Amino acid sequence: MVEAESPELEAGLLLAFAPLHRMALGVASGIVMGGLIFAATLFLVVKGGYPVGPNLALLGEFMYGYTVTLAGALIGFIWGFGIGFFIGWMFAVAHNVAIWLWLIVIRSQAEMDQYGDFLDHM
């Protein structure tokens, strides 16, 4: 017979195995990555000097239209948001699949433990 579980345990289990919201994690990751590229570019533009950000300018090889200028900072934000969104979204999908598979394993083991004794006595 199954014992009644406490509401605290049930709430804790729901939180422990809660899926990540794909869109929310994607947007949050996109804003962070886009903001970092924007802030780094803006810092170098405001700082000035010669040469202006030769290492950061290499991002232009991967992000079409990106330069170390104010307009490039906006383009970098858009590219950073897109890349960060994709990475965050894929991480949430992978996390949710891993949790789903883990729950299947736990449930299968529990069913085998429950029915194992029954089949042994046949």
Distance of CA 66 to the CA centre of its chain: 25
Residue pLDDT, tens place only, 1-26: 455 567 776 777 777 778 889 999 99
Rounded to the nearest integer, the mean pLDDT of the chain is: 86
- What are the sequence ranges of the domains in the chain? 22-120
Closest CA to 30 of 80, 70, 73, 75: 80
* pLDDT recorded at residue 21: 92
Is this prediction's pTM over 0.85? no
How many Å apart are CA 106 and CA 76, to the nearest integer?
44
The DSSP letter of residue 60 is G
